[in-house]
Structure 1
């Protein structure tokens, strides 16, 4: 029977070890962080303590909240190793030297509690080598847990177990990683580089070498080896700059030593004097002076430059010019791989061999194609795994290209020649196995995906912006389908329809989607178009309709649960403020950002935030504290950088749930909704005691002070004044209660006043064109 992991030790407070400790703390689990005692150190815990200090200052933040940081207990190996006896999981994350690791394991074995799990974060040393010569009691509890950097944000965790590892130990660690840490666990064979780094390093090395061989511009190479294949827009050279040029020789070296001479990896290794020179002179990427790309700051300028692979000199960065990608080219991958130009030759020379190499890794590195695809999607941020890419190209076509280039065809690829690697049968997604049959893709217990539901059913209702799905047990799911899940009339209409449908026939409503972001807010493009043609009446109708529908959500006689992930901004945030409960993915970035584009939250955001701060029993009472707090948050367009931080800012309530694993979000939200059904009562309407004109005057004075310091622009003052009027109750006497309905009216009035100003329209246009706010 597997055990529960309640306390963790991480030994090694370097970048990875400290990052792993921070993420364990993000899960609400106490973690002991240990490192060596530096010679002559007055503070024996200095290395671990400084690591935590760095984590608190790092951006992007390794901690999801300051509260999480308090769960990390710094110590040292000499004084605190005995404390690991209280830990259920001990993670070793020290330097990649076998002798040092084995010496540490002997100390761990003497100090740990029998049956506790011990793992290494290694990515280069086989498990068999790590445990060689160690007692059977240690080998039984030992495994490899390979995290990817940064541990908070990278979802992949590769787990390697040995022939003697207790299956219950593996199951306990895998479940902890999945449910508590939010990782997608991929089980790997004990082979060099495991899966992601084995294939990813092959791909990177091949892509760099072929770009040099073809004399390509790095911008052109990155354009080909980026979006057409669903790879990160950094491409290859931008990605290497991000991870560090100096890291690549270490990974390549370990694979060179470990892989047999017959492995195709060795054919990718080429000495590139330019790269060696860049590393030796500090051009190691973004963490150094620059890399293949750099920002030249000489003479006070900020000039983006790219290196010339032929000469080694920097030149101004240019827009990629790849003929094969012009006019929508690159969407047909076979056409791109077959194109005779430089871009086509580059794509073919890299990807045909990379995809063939992926096919070689089953069953050597993994038991099935699903593991390979998961590893590359989550470890290297590929939108599609290699076998999914082969299906887009066509296995038979890929075989043609391999044969034409004189390359061997791997048996697995030959097996799939006339069949896809993935198919849907009776509403169930299946994958091709090594014996030529198909097997169902089985989700772990507690995982529910809308993508799977869509294979088996039709929507209850649908329009161009949203759809309603029956997700079972009397629960309906409202899915946004508009671009970036921006909110428009179609979504408001579908939300109103959902409320009526659930009231008549179902138990509860969940608002959820599987896009990158829950919602970026209202569709600014439509709003700008309407204003430019003078259709302000239509804008006001949409504002009023949104307000009414959100109020209907708030006072619905059944549970409405929102399940955000990614960005939930503006109107997307306002949905969260009106539902009966929220089950948020831990990586939810929530905020009311309307002031940044020159308007106000007008779908009830101001009113709901006032209500939350007024209701907090720990917050100071009186007419001014709550409006002041909301003014501070909304006027600065503050965005919570995690679901945990969103609770601190009251975008989420204390009782709202947080799900660490994105794949478990819908199931958790559905369970929360069902748990609320019996005896559900909507909230009662509220009234506020607000400060009125005197409170507005105080807020205006504060903004004027910021303006004098250059921190607020001319239009910031206009927007802030409109916001202050809403939050202080307009001209109402603070002695008399102000109903929430009046604050909603003030929201609408303030929004319409601002949307008619040229400065606000300029802000909206600028954001739509550049993606950045205009400081006017």
Structure 2
């Protein structure tokens, strides 16, 4: 009688699921709709029935937050709940407007992807990823349960092209292909759209170039400007597509207030956590602006939802707190569980003490009792790739360090490493001194970070590769999200880690093995193969995560809270680390390593340049 029972359904009303069950069962029953793949997708839609005990809902919310690491959105028992209702509608609108505006699927995905803050798969790439047959079933399910008159019915009918593709086995990435296909010689192919009564078109080579407005949006984002401005202006088909998609999708999301939820944050959270949108619909409406939003609605010919009749923004500051406008047009503080900090929201109430296009430095005060005057380094370039500007902020934090430093951001990936486009430009220009100067500044910044007289905590989530990991390797401790990937991958692109990663890995392997020769061999294998750990536990096998020293957190929204607590715990009596003693390994290892690489080249396992890179890595650790 104490057992909680739940269903993962996204379509069956909770009333139908429990209608023949006893009262005691109905009080213990809820819907827990996890988004797939469950390991990576953060959203849990939690649905309470009319008779579900509130204590049951609270226990489920807390358990899923703290133990399973989910972002919990409490939903009413309405068709499609929140995520699928808006997300699937957006995909269907994307398909509909691609046909109406005469765009190719590549153009549509390029526009309805990163420029709108949506994953780069866009519409058709996401269909292929999820499975075209599964998406067709989801569309049919929503069509069967949504009320008559819902805007979904205009775009949720049977699609002849999709049905033909499914019948022929073209179900996406898991099948023979989908809208896209990898052809011979790994050439990416795309299938043109066809209308009712038309046969399936043959695949053709996919276009590699982006629409000019998508390029302009990327440039705007790199300069910390609004990317939507670049895609909404103009009279060409691309601009029309963007205006019509955003007009229809954002108006639809707004129309769900107040019948589906009274809090716009619920819908925003569902789309960010369940569909990986960078901004939710109401954050996008604020970015578009009320007047331009009304113009978009007029252009697509739909009714103005009542919530959009006010010219007030949905998100606004009240003192140092971020608030959200509710259905009754009154503002309430954003709703997050105790201990959860989403820095992309919190930063709206903060002013950086130093910033550039690639990184910012903030002061954190009042986040934990007795822990004040902290510094937070946030990377925010594309993929958080590290540049001179990024490392300028790291060096500045080491100089103006306050009472502790935290390196954190809540983007999808902590950092993909050094910006290789910048490096490539230096190589092509033959600017070897420029490369040396960049590496010296990088090394100088991370060394200063390591030896500051205050605690330094790294709090990554997602990918922390190459130079991104090298920054973390110079922190006192790490608080790592369980889905983080860490490692030094430079050898895979033909270069050698140059930001202290070899040295730090070598020292850690010595601590683990007690032998400088063993440490050199293990480090060489780690870095030469570009090995990464896809979890803290797997990273520990490579010494990129230190068991018993570093920490893991299931919910990435709790990383910053724990990092702040750790700084407080370490402050009393803290002393900066002393430069370590290290001994280079025996040069005799060079012969063993070179023999290993020569055999690999002869067998076709390695390219000749792999041997050059591997032996260069070896020389860093071997005594000549």
Given that residues 359 and 413 in structure 1 are in contact (C-alpha distance below 8 angstroms), is that contact kept between their aligned partners in structure 2? yes
> In the superposition, relative to structure 1, how do residues 198 and 526 fare at CA in structure 2: closer, same or farther (>3 Å)?
closer
CA distance in 2, matches of 1:267, 1:343: 22
Distance change in 2, residues 1:336/1:463 (3 Å): closer
Q: Answer 1 or 2: higher relative contact order, Cα 8 Å, separation at least 6.
A: 2
Q: For residues 309 and 219 of structure 1, do their structure 2 counterparts lie closer, same or farther at Cα, with a shift above 3 Å needed? A: farther
Which residues in structure 2 correspond to 1:434-583 (within 5 Å)? 434-462=327-355, 465-472=358-365, 473-474=371-372, 475-482=374-381, 484-502=383-401, 506-528=402-424, 536-537=432-433, 539-583=435-479
Deviates more, 1:706-715 or 1:523-532: 523-532
- Residues 102, 237 of structure 2: 8 Å contact kept: no
Confirm or deny that 1:389 pairs with 2:278: no
Q: Does 1:433 align with 2:322?
A: no
Post-superposition offset of 1:442: 3.8
Q: Is the 8 A contact 1:209 1:270 kept in 2?
A: no
| Farther-moved stretch of structure 1 (516-525 vs 562-571) | 516-525
Identify the residue that residue 79 of structure 2 maps to in structure 1.
192
Q: List per-residue Cα deviations over 1:661-710 (Å, max 9, x = no partner).
A: 22221111111121112233444544455542211111111111111111
Q: Which residue of 1 aligns with 2:223?
A: none
* In 2: Cα distance, 1:605 partner to 1:336 partner: 40
The structural deviation recorded for 1:465 is: 4.9
Partner of 2:194: 309
Distance 1:604 1:326 in 2: 36
Q: Can you list the C-alpha shifts for 1:585-620, whole angstroms capped at 9, x where unaligned?
A: 22322112233344433333222212212212xx4x
Q: 2-side partners of 1:410 and 1:463: how far apart?
A: 38
SS at match of 1:307: coil
Cα distance in structure 2, aligned partners of 1:531 and 1:287? 39
Aligned-pair CA distance for 1:303: 5.5
When residues 652 and 355 of structure 1 are mapped into structure 2, their CA distance, relative to the original with a 3 A threshold, is: same
Q: Alpha-carbon deviation of 1:583?
A: 1.0
- Change in Cα spacing, 1:170 to 1:534, as seen in structure 2 (3 Å) is same
Change (3 A) 1:355 1:455: closer
Contact 1:334 1:397 in 2 (8 A): no
Alignment CA distance shift 1:248-1:712 (3 Å): closer
Q: Determine helix, strand or coil for the equivalent of 2:249.
A: helix
Structure 1 stretch displaced more, 548-557 or 122-131: 548-557
SS of the residue 1:160 aligns to: strand
- Cα gap change, 1:496 to 1:173, in 2 (>3 Å): same
- 2:598 and 2:480 map into 1 onto residues whose CA distance is 37
CA contact (8 A) 2:358 2:381 kept: yes
Structure 2 unaligned regions, length at least 5: 219-225, 366-370
**Distance change (3 Å), C-alpha of 1:634 and 1:144:** same
Structure 2 length normalisation: TM-score?
A: 0.88
In structure 2, distance between residues paired with 1:133 and 1:291 = 42
TM-score by length of 1: 0.72
Q: Which residue of 1 aligns with 2:600?
A: 706
Q: 1:582 deviation in Å? A: 0.8
Q: Classify 1:550/1:277 alpha carbon distance in 2 versus 1 (closer, same or farther; 3 Å).
A: closer
Counterpart CA distance in 2 for 1:541 and 1:303 is 39
Alpha carbons of structure 1 residues 625 and 144: separation in structure 2 relative to 1, 3 Å: same
Q: Contact 1:510 / 1:561 at 8 angstroms: preserved in 2?
A: yes
Post-superposition Cα deviations, 1:208-240, rounded to whole Å, max 9, x if no partner, equal 344445655333333443344222222222221
Unmatched tracts of structure 1, length 5 or more: 1-113, 732-776
Partner of 1:634: 527
The 3 A distance-change label for structure 1 pair 166 and 356 is same
Query: Partner residue of 1:293?
Result: 180
Asked if the contact 1:324–1:336 (Cα under 8 Å) also holds between the matched residues in 2, the reply is no
Counterpart in 2 of 1:604?
A: 500
Q: Secondary structure at the match of 1:279?
A: helix
**Residue 248 of structure 1: aligned partner:** 135
Alignment of 1:292-441 (within 5 A): 292-297=179-184, 302=187, 304-310=189-195, 311-319=199-207, 325=213, 328=216, 340-403=235-298, 406-414=301-309, 416=310, 418-441=311-334
Structure-2 separation of matches of 1:351 and 1:229: 9
Mapped partners of 2:388, 2:154: distance in 1: 56
Q: What does the per-residue CA deviation read over 1:383-415, in whole Å, with 9 as the maximum and x for residues that have no partner?
A: 22222222233334443454565533222223x
Q: SS in structure 1 opposite 2:612?
A: helix
The answer as to whether partners of 2:482 and 2:554 remain within 8 angstroms in 1 is: yes
Corresponding residue for residue 47 of structure 1: none
In structure 2, C-alpha distance between the alignment counterparts of 1:535 and 1:332, rounded to whole Å = 32
Cα distance per residue 1:279-318 (max 9 Å; x no partner): 1221111111122222344xx7755131341441213134
Give the secondary structure class of the aligned counterpart of 1:363: coil
In terms of mean alpha carbon deviation, does 148-157 or 484-493 score higher? Answer: 484-493
Q: Does 1:590 align with 2:489?
A: no
Equivalent position SS for 1:602: coil
**Structure 2 equivalent of residue 76 of structure 1:** none
Which residue of 1 is the match for residue 154 of structure 2?
267
SS in 1 for 2:132: coil
In 1, the alpha carbon distance for the partners of 2:591 and 2:92 equals: 63
Describe how 1:220-235 pairs up with structure 2 within 5 A. 220-235=107-122
**1:293/1:307 contact within 8 Å kept:** no
Larger Rg: 1 or 2? 1
Match of residue 145, structure 1, among 32, 47, 53: 32
Deviation at 1:115, TM superposition (A): 1.9
Contact 2:104–2:193 (CA under 8 A) maintained in structure 1: yes
For the Cα contact (< 8 Å) 2:286–2:313, is it kept in 1? Answer: yes
Give the structure 2 partner of residue 111 of structure 1.
none
